[in-house]
Amino acid sequence: MPSKATSEFTVTSWEPVSVDEANPSGKMTRTIVKKTFTGALTGSSVAELLTCETESGGAGYLAMERVEGTLDGSAGSFVLQHGGIYDASTGTATPYGAIVPSSATGGLVGLRGSAEYQHDDQGAILTLHYELEAVSQ
C-alpha cells in the first residue's frame, strides 16, 4: 500500500555557476544545492540543477538529488530526479519528480515512488508518495 511522507526543508547552500549567460534564448545556470529535511523525512541532500531563465519570465530546471537520512523510521539514501517548466505567458507551472529506481541503500532498499516540491508563504515542502518493497538479499 502506498505511503505519503511530508517534510519541510531548508536550503543550506546555493552555489550557481553561469553556463551561457549571453544567449538571447535564455540564461543557463548550473547550481549545486544543499538542503536539510525535517518531518517524516529527516536528513540532508545535495543536488545538481540545470536551469534556464528567459527574459520574458519563462523558466525550466532539471535536477538530480541524493538524499541521505531516515524516512518514516528507515535509514538510508536514495536519489530523486525532478524538474519543472514555468510558462510566464499562461502563468502555469508543470513540475514532476520521481525516486530513481534501484537507487536506495540501507533500510530504504526497494524504495520507489514520486516526489513533489512546493514553495509558498508557508515555507518549502517535499512530499513523497512511495512504496518500500521488501527486497530479498
Q: Is the pLDDT of residue 13 over 70?
A: yes
- Report yes or no: 128 and 4 within 8 Å, Cβ to Cβ: yes
Question: Whose grid coordinates read 544545492?
Answer: 33
Total Cβ atoms within 10 A of residue 66:
16
> What's residue 121's pLDDT?
80
DSSP 100: P
pLDDT-derived band at 136 (thresholds 50, 70, 90) equals: low
- Report yes or no: 129 and 7 within 8 Å, Cβ to Cβ: no
At the second CATH level, the architecture of 3-132 is Beta Barrel (2.40)
> What's residue 123's pLDDT?
86
Domain boundary assignment for the chain: 3-132
> What's residue 60's pLDDT?
95
**Identity (one letter) of the amino acid at 58?**
G
> What's residue 87's pLDDT?
94
Look up the pTM and report it. Answer: 0.90
**Identity (one letter) of the amino acid at 6?**
T
In tens, the pLDDT along 63-87 reads: 999 999 999 999 999 999 999 999 9
How many helices and strands in the chain, by DSSP H and E?
Answer: 0, 8
Q: Is the pLDDT of residue 137 over 60?
A: no
